[in-house]
RNA sequence: GCCAAAGUGGCGGAAUUGGUAGACGCGCACGACUCAAAAUCGUGUACCGUAAGGUGUGUGGGUUCGAUUCCCACCUUUGGUACCA
């Protein structure tokens, strides 16, 4: 006697989870003759709140694929681990003094317990934690490789720095074509050899892929650390929403810009959502244009119009509009500002520079449309028409992009137009189109006018002609520009990987390989030191052979930028991954996770993968071949409505009659929109004496779909669902909610349908008394047809990641078999195998009830047989003028003429035709008949 | 502003090489079982209309024998991005 009851579910789920664990059912071995499949979830940061039902969505999907691929004959790598370094544990440490390691360990424990009870097929022996010294020693090792390499543009590859110094000794840097941070001074081999060690290192820092430099950083005072560009949103920190300001600081950076072109091109080779690719393309921000120099002429007051030796270098994508330039604009931080400002204008310019400097990022962003600037008093000469144009400064020009200076063409650029209007600067039309006095006209298709030799050309041709001219005059050249900046790679924080770097006389040195890992020392407090050093400055006796270590730690993305390699060979003590393991597993075949990592993790991972490939450590150019972004599961918040100034609450349907304030109410106190009034009164003290205005005797709550969050009392914990319905029901319901990629609200109400399905499915194997009852009779044709239709659909759906429709198909099949009272082994056995990726526990249990002594994990998915699906007749919908009016059954091989005759003769067509002959009859075999009257 | 995705019953959603719109499930209504309730099972359920019939996939046009599916314009929502020259 065994119903599919709550107790029975609990028993079988625990039984099989234990059995799978003791049998090592999910253990993956590398060396095998089978084809491989690598299915990976984005590993989570273990937060203190634990999992809510939204988190497992993607994990369930990848688990279904993994299990399916496995019974299709693949050797499947499906691991899980933890991105364990991170700010929340450290913030908690600052507040409480508890070591972030303890917090993290505790959270990981909770996560693992929650994950395990959902029945994922992870090989936990391959688990990685980024905060584990045995893991981060390899993060440090990879950092060292990056420090020891440079990007050779000639070979389009990263190369060892030793090769570079060899060349320096021979020929200096004359023949080197490298990606470097700024203009590097030329030197000969002799000069190189004569340099001091410090000078040599200063030069090398300009070449290294991981390098130290003084740069503008996003400083977040509240978090006490710098943040990378992708961690700053709308001028505040992504985590916590604290203000961020731009300051200059000595920092570790990663020369990701060297890979801009490859990161861009590689996007065309990978199967990712177009939206994410587009985000990366925008982030990289490639633009093709022209760099040219406008000579500066001395201030007008001197009357001297002779050219100065210096010029202002600008970058433009619209050299075709160069005849329309009426002024130049420099960023306030531009190095020439000070030099060119005239005495008269000095005060105004200084004031503007200091105001612009102190404006926070936040203010700048929110005041995008506000025009501000100052005139330097200096003039430049337009090399194309020799006109004198004033030089201004304004903060709409960014120091970090292009050359930090623009040639302003107010007629054909909106920002320049706004600026010209505001300061009464001339506006000239050089592109044919509407008048530009009131509004800039921006077009890439029109003809160029008022532009000397460019007149009559279309934009593209004029751009080419302009570049040719600039190069002919040797005042500039065509140039490709990228928006992407090098990535800041240091945090003034404790809970991260220490750098394997120490300093001798201020010069950074790497520790020996054999001394890795450099472990995180214990400290008394997790705050910065009194002197403003990072927390690691508090560590006692922490040094490398008497030399002080780097005190910043690596950012959160360090450990996650290579972890998919570690899973391939997680215990290797000699390498981060062995050549054999890497060549077998290659890259991730399916990566499921959130699109919020588009310009962070997903970009950095591609970057590191390429560097490691260039240096010969791995042989895959791209880490994640296919990616799917799962949508978010949103919470459904419930509201009660308090009449303002009272303790009376009015039911949702009547709230319009009062002035009310909506209050979030715990969703556990609401069933089908009706509030449990007693529970509500007991919830919080101030509600104890609340009164209620009801409708139809019930208090109805309002609803709203919002983010799932504690503060909105709408969090649904998977533990509760598992204990009420079981893991199999949870898994299938999450899939049943809708397409994986879409965001959708969670409503626990609907889960009954999936639960009932599993119970019905269970009942197919049992008689009315709950005893196993399987028949060995030969199934009917109809039963076979339904089975194979289901198998076909499941296979197609899994291959296209359309799991919601698979669940529906299982239901349809089960409904049919239930009404047909079919308990035949020949039907149920293939079906239970097909169900096993979705609901592994019940499938394994029923599999054993079918008499199998080996696990269903070792079974083979039964592919559908098309011969069962062949139909010989079809019930045609008969539509008249496009509206379906009747159905008629015809053999599929019946000639069209015969069908037409029968249709025209039919009662229904006769009725609508009212005696007239039809104008036309369209017959699509196996689809439809349409009669046009 | 720009880029991307999406708008279908009371709700989640299904159907796109153009061919029966609303599969499957929730909810709801009615019925069975029960002293009763819960659970369970059955029937019905896009909308208007007693019916015949009509109307319906964000809005307005178009192509077609036939449009949720293709084309044009617009509206709304969500995500991303933001003075990138």
Q: According to the model, what pLDDT value does residue A32 have? A: 76
Question: Å from A819 (CA) to B31 (C1')?
Answer: 20
- Local structure of A9: helix, strand or coil: helix
Q: Looking at residues A624-645, what average pLDDT do you find?
A: 88
Asked if omega into A639 is within 30° of 0 (cis), the reply is no
Residue A683 pLDDT grade (very low, low, confident, very high; cuts 50, 70, 90): confident
pLDDT surpasses 60 at A63: yes
Q: According to the model, what pLDDT value does residue A824 have? A: 94
Q: Which of A42, A41, A50, A51 is nearest to A103 (CA)?
A: A50
Query: Which residues does residue A330 pair with via DSSP β-bridges, in sequence order?
Result: A393, A405
pLDDT surpasses 60 at A104: yes
Residue A389 lies in a domain: yes
Residue A214 lies in a domain: yes
* Interval A892-918: pLDDT, tens: 888 888 888 888 888 888 878 777 788
Q: According to the model, what pLDDT value does residue A912 have? A: 80
Residue A426 and residue A343 in one domain = yes
The C-alpha atoms of residue A38 and residue A627 are separated, in whole angstroms, by 12
Cβ–Cβ under 8 Å, residues A440 and A394: no
- Given A644, A677, A706, which residue is the final one in a domain? A706
Q: According to the model, what pLDDT value does residue A363 have? A: 64
Cβ–Cβ under 8 Å, residues A38 and A590: yes
Mean pLDDT of chain A: 89
- Greater confidence, A3 or A734? A734
Residue A178 and residue A257 in one domain = yes
Q: Looking at residues A564-591, what average pLDDT do you find?
A: 96
Write out which nucleotides of chain B lie closer than 7 A to a protein Cβ: 3-5, 11-15, 19-21, 23-28, 40-42, 54, 65-67, 78-85
Residue A368 tokens read as: 């995008």
Residue A56 lies in a domain: no
Residue A597 lies in a domain: no
Cβ–Cβ under 8 Å, residues A792 and A813: no
Give me the CATH number covering residue A360.
3.90.740.10
Residue A306 and residue A417 in one domain = yes
pLDDT surpasses 70 at A360: no
Residue A786 and residue A856 in one domain = yes
Residue A458 and residue A348 in one domain = yes
- What's the number of domains chain A is made of? 5
Give me the CATH number covering residue A909.
3.10.20.590
Residue A719 pLDDT grade (very low, low, confident, very high; cuts 50, 70, 90): very high
pLDDT surpasses 80 at A127: yes
Residue A523 and residue A405 in one domain = no
- Asked if the Cβ of residue A315 lies within 7 A of any atom of strand B, the reply is yes
Cβ–Cβ under 8 Å, residues A224 and A494: no
Note the maximum CA span of chain A.
109
The residue count of chain A comes to 933
- Given A429, A452, A482, which residue is the final one in a domain? A482
The C-alpha atoms of residue A103 and residue A268 are separated, in whole angstroms, by 42
Q: According to the model, what pLDDT value does residue A309 have? A: 54
Checking each nucleotide's C1' against the CA of A751, the nearest proves to be B26
Q: From the annotation, which residues of A make up the binding site for ATP?
A: 710
Question: Å from A874 (CA) to B72 (C1')?
Answer: 38
Q: According to the model, what pLDDT value does residue A307 have? A: 44
Residue A579 lies in a domain: no
Residue A304 pLDDT grade (very low, low, confident, very high; cuts 50, 70, 90): very low
Q: Looking at residues A256-272, what average pLDDT do you find?
A: 92
Q: According to the model, what pLDDT value does residue A436 have? A: 86
- Percentage of chain A beyond pLDDT 70 is 97
The C-alpha atoms of residue A56 and residue A630 are separated, in whole angstroms, by 10
Residue A270 and residue A397 in one domain = no
Residue A658 pLDDT grade (very low, low, confident, very high; cuts 50, 70, 90): confident
Q: According to the model, what pLDDT value does residue A182 have? A: 66
Residue A457 and residue A507 in one domain = no
- Given A439, A466, A482, which residue is the final one in a domain? A482
- Asked if the Cβ of residue A347 lies within 7 A of any atom of strand B, the reply is no
Residue A208 lies in a domain: yes
Checking each nucleotide's C1' against the CA of A482, the nearest proves to be B84
pLDDT surpasses 70 at A361: no
Residue A235 lies in a domain: yes
Domain interval for residue A882: 871-932
pLDDT surpasses 70 at A305: no
* Interval A797-853: pLDDT, tens: 999 999 999 999 999 999 999 999 999 999 999 999 999 999 999 999 999 999 999
- Local structure of A899: helix, strand or coil: helix
- Greater confidence, A902 or A191? A191
- Local structure of A140: helix, strand or coil: helix
* Interval A218-263: pLDDT, tens: 788 787 777 777 777 766 777 777 877 777 788 899 999 999 999 9
Residue A521 and residue A470 in one domain = no
- Asked if the Cβ of residue A748 lies within 7 A of any atom of strand B, the reply is no
Checking each nucleotide's C1' against the CA of A750, the nearest proves to be B26
3-state SS of A487-540 is: EECCECCCCCCECCEEEECCEEEECCHHHCCCCCCCCCCCCCCCCCCCHHHHCC
In degrees and rounded to multiples of 5, residue A416 shows phi and psi of: -60, -35
The secondary element (H helix, E strand) that includes residue A788 is helix A781-799
Give me the CATH number covering residue A730.
1.10.730.10
User: Among A1-15, A82-96, A225-239, A610-624, where is mean pLDDT lowest?
Assistant: A225-239
Cβ–Cβ under 8 Å, residues A783 and A811: no
Which 912-931 positions of A have CB less than 7 A from strand B? 920, 922, 924, 927-928, 930
The C-alpha atoms of residue A703 and residue A441 are separated, in whole angstroms, by 47
Checking each nucleotide's C1' against the CA of A745, the nearest proves to be B12
- Asked if the Cβ of residue A879 lies within 7 A of any atom of strand B, the reply is yes
Q: According to the model, what pLDDT value does residue A654 have? A: 77
Which 366-405 positions of A have CB less than 7 A from strand B? 367-368, 370, 395-398, 401-404
Residue A297 and residue A389 in one domain = yes
Residue A704 pLDDT grade (very low, low, confident, very high; cuts 50, 70, 90): confident
Q: According to the model, what pLDDT value does residue A762 have? A: 94
Residue A274 and residue A323 in one domain = no
Checking each nucleotide's C1' against the CA of A321, the nearest proves to be B85
In degrees and rounded to multiples of 5, residue A58 shows phi and psi of: -70, -35
- Local structure of A309: helix, strand or coil: strand
Residue A329 lies in a domain: yes
The C-alpha atoms of residue A346 and residue A557 are separated, in whole angstroms, by 45
DSSP A816: H
Residue A771 and residue A666 in one domain = no
């Amino acid at each position: 006697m065994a119903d599919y009851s709550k107790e029975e579910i609990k028993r079988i789920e625990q039984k099989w989870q234990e059995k799978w664990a003791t049998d090592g059912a999910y253990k993956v071995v590398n060396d095998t003759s089978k084809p491989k499949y690598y299915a990976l979830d984005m590993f989570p940061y273990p937060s203190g709140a634990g999992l809510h039902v939204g988190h497992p969505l993607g994990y369930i999907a990848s688990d279904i694929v993994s299990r399916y691929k496995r019974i299709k004959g693949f050797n499947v790598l499906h691991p899980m681990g933890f991105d364990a370094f991170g700010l929340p544990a450290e913030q908690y440490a600052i507040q409480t003094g508890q070591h972030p390691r303890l917090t993290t360990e505790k959270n990981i424990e909770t996560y693992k317990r929650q994950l395990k009870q959902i029945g994922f097929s992870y090989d936990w022996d391959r688990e990685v934690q980024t905060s584990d010294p045995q893991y981060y020693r390899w993060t440090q090792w990879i950092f060292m490789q990056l420090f020891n390499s440079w990007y050779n543009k000639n070979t389009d590859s990263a190369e060892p720095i030793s090769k570079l110094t060899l060349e320096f000794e021979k020929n200096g840097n004359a023949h080197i074509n490298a990606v470097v941070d700024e203009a590097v001074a030329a030197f000969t081999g002799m000069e190189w050899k004569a340099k001091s060690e410090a000078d040599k290192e200063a030069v090398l820092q300009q070449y290294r892929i991981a390098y130290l430099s003084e740069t503008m950083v996003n400083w977040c005072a509240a978090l006490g650390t710098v943040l990378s560009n992708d961690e700053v949103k709308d001028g505040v920190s992504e985590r916590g929403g604290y203000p961020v300001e731009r300051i200059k600081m000595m920092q570790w950076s990663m020369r990701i810009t060297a890979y801009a072109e490859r990161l861009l091109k590689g996007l065309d080779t990978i199967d990712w959502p177009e939206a994410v690719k587009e985000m990366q393309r925008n982030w990289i921000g490639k633009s093709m244009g022209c760099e040219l120099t406008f000579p500066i002429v001395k201030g007008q007051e001197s009357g001297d119009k002779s050219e100065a030796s210096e010029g202002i270098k600008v970058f433009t994508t619209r050299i075709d509009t160069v005849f329309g330039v009426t002024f130049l604009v420099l960023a306030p931080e531009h190095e020439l500002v000070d030099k060119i400002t005239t005495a008269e204008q000095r005060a105004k310019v200084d004031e503007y520079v200091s105001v612009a400097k102190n404006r926070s990022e936040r203010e700048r962003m929110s005041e995008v449309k506000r025009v501000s600037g100052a005139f330097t008093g200096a003039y430049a000469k337009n090399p194309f028409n020799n006109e004198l144009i004033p030089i201004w400064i304004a903060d709409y020009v960014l120091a970090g992009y292009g050359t930090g200076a623009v040639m302003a063409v107010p007629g054909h650029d909106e920002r320049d137009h706004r600026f010209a209007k505001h300061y009464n600067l001339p506006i000239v039309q050089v592109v044919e189109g509407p008048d530009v006095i009131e509004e800039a006209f921006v077009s890439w298709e029109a003809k160029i006018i008022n532009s000397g030799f460019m007149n009559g050309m279309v934009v593209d041709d004029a751009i080419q002609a302009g570049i040719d001219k600039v190069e002919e005059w040797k005042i500039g050249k065509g140039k490709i520009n990228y928006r992407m900046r090098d990535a800041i790679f240091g945090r003034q924080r404790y809970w991260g990987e220490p750098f394997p770097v120490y300093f001798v006389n201020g010069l950074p040195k790497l520790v020996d390989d054999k001394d890795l890992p450099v472990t995180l020392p214990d400290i008394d407090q997790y705050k910065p030191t009194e002197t403003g050093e990072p927390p690691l400055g508090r560590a006692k006796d922490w040094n490398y052979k008497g030399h002080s270590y780097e005190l910043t730690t690596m950012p959160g993305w360090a450990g996650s930028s290579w972890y998919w390699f570690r899973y391939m060979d997680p215990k290797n003590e000699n390498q981060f991954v062995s050549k054999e393991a890497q060549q077998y597993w290659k890259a991730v075949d399916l990566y499921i996770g959130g699109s919020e990592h588009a310009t962070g993790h997903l970009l950095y991972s591609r970057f590191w993968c390429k560097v490691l490939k260039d240096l010969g450590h791995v042989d895959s150019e791209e880490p994640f071949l296919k990616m799917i972004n799962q949508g978010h599961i949103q919470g459904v918040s419930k509201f009660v409505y308090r009449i303002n100034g009272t303790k009376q609450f009015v039911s949702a349907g009547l709230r319009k009659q009062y002035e009310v304030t909506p209050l979030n109410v715990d969703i556990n106190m609401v069933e089908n929109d009706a509030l449990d009034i007693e529970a509500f009164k007991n919830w919080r003290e101030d509600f104890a004496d609340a009164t209620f205005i009801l409708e139809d005797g019930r208090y109805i709550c309002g609803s709203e779909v919002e983010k799932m969050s504690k503060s909105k009392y709408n969090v649904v914990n998977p533990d509760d669902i598992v204990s009420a319905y079981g893991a199999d029901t949870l898994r299938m319901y999450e899939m049943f909610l809708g397409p994986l990629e879409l965001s959708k609200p969670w409503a626990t109400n609907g889960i009954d349908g999936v639960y009932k399905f599993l119970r019905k499915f269970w009942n197919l194997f049992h008689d009315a008394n709950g005893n196993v009852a399987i028949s060995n009779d030969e199934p009917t044709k109809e039963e076979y047809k339904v089975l194979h239709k289901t198998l076909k659909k499941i296979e197609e759906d899994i291959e296209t990641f359309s799991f919601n429709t698979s669940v529906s198909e299982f239901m349809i099949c089960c409904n049919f078999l239930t009404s047909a009272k079919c308990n035949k082994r020949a039907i149920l056995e293939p079906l239970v195998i097909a169900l096993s990726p979705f609901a592994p526990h019940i499938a394994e249990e029923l599999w054993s009830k079918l008499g199998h002594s080996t696990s269903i994990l070792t079974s083979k998915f039964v592919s559908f047989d098309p011969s069962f699906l062949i139909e010989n007749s079809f019930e045609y919908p008969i539509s008249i003028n496009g509206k379906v009016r009747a159905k008629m059954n015809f053999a599929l091989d019946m000639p069209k003429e015969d069908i037409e005759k029968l249709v025209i003769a039919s009662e229904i067509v006769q009725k609508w035709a009212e005696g007239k002959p039809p104008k036309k009859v369209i017959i699509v075999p196996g689809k439809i008949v349409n009669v046009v009257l």
